[in-house]
């Protein structure tokens, strides 16, 4: 049965995908897509969503100020998995239902974290840059198999990374707020404190949500707690790492490298950090695979009709 109410798709990634557009239009023939090619915010986002009963949101910020200007809006479905840009309490106050599916891009993000790890350990980015510049200098790297990997946050993506690391037979430490003793025992992992994980790991990979407890989780103090010569990978959320402190710690040589897909402000503007030879970065592409885009988009379409009380997602 065709749904005749208006749906607005703010996500540029969803809007560019022909398959997702077609599948949404089959259910909502008058759906509206973001054709600007840029992330909308403020007045532009309000104007785009105005008059719509349902919306698909990606990284756009949805807060009380926004939803109060959209009295017709009844449902928001999340394209992607992060909830840090959505004020769930504000949605509840305005009686707006919310649809979300966790872990739909877990493989895509976990593969990028593994890619970052291997690239840093083998100094791929350094070798590439120097070779393009005309140098031919071999810098010995490390084998992942002989490393201890610390996974901070062992939810959907963290567990997927554990699975991807199995062929390397490396030692794995995990840190999580939940008791994962049964999971760790079955997968031959060790759950430990964050301090112990940082001190013992050759690779630290972050996979926590961004919230009040995780903002600047990796402070200067914690960065310095990391094992000398280790590497840091962040495919989770910007804001988890103190980027100013990271720049200083990388420059000092305490860490041998860091790789980030996400930043506190995107695109990042700290050219000194971005220019560090031991720093590798990508423009928030963790979920940007053909497979992940379809999975996230189809979940969002389904959640337009399966949305629930926003407050039920606060513990996710």
Residues identified as active-site? 237, 266, 284
Beta strand 231-234 with 7-9 is unpaired
3-state SS, residue 175: strand
Name residues whose C-beta falls within 8 Å of residue 42's C-beta, 6 or more positions apart in sequence: none
CA–CA distances in Å: residue 174 to residues 49, 115, 145, 191, 204: 41, 19, 17, 5, 10
- Packed helices 106-121 and 124-132: angle between N→C axes, nearest 10 degrees: 60
| Cis? peptide before 236, omega within 30° of 0 | no
Both structure tokens of 135: 């140098």
Integer-rounded Cα Rg, in Å, for the chain is 21
């Amino acid at each position: 049965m065709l749904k005749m109410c208006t749906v607005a798709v703010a996500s540029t990634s969803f809007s560019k995908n022909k398959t997702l557009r077609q599948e949404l239009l089959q259910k909502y023939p008058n759906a509206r897509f973001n054709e600007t090619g840029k992330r909308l915010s403020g007045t532009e986002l309000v104007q785009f969503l105005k008059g719509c009963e349902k919306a698909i949101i990606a990284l756009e910020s949805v807060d009380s100020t926004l939803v109060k200007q959209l009295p017709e809006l009844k449902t928001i479905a999340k394209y992607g998995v992060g909830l840090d840009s959505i004020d769930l309490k504000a949605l509840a106050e305005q009686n707006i239902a919310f649809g979300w599916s966790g872990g739909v891009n877990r493989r895509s993000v976990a593969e990028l974290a593994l890619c970052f790890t291997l690239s840093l350990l083998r100094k791929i980015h350094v070798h590439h840059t120097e070779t393009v510049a005309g140098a031919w200098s071999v810098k010995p790297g490390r084998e992942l198999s002989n490393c201890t990997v610390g996974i901070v946050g062992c939810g959907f993506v963290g567990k997927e990374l554990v699975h991807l690391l199995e062929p390397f037979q490396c030692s794995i430490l995990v840190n999580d707020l939940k008791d994962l003793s049964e999971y760790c025992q079955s997968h031959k992992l060790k759950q430990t404190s964050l301090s112990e994980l940082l001190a013992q790991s050759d690779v630290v990979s972050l996979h926590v949500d961004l919230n009040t407890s995780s903002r600047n989780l990796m402070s200067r103090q914690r960065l310095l707690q990391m094992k000398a010569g280790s590497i840091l990978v962040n495919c989770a959320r910007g804001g988890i790492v103190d980027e100013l402190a990271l720049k200083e710690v990388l420059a000092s040589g305490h860490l041998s490298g860091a790789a980030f897909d996400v930043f506190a402000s995107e695109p990042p503007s700290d050219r000194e950090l971005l220019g560090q030879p031991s720093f590798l970065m990508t423009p928030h592409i963790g979920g940007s695979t053909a497979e992940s885009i379809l999975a996230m988009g189809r979940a969002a379409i389904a959640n337009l009709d399966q949305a629930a009380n926003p407050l039920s997602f606060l513990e996710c």
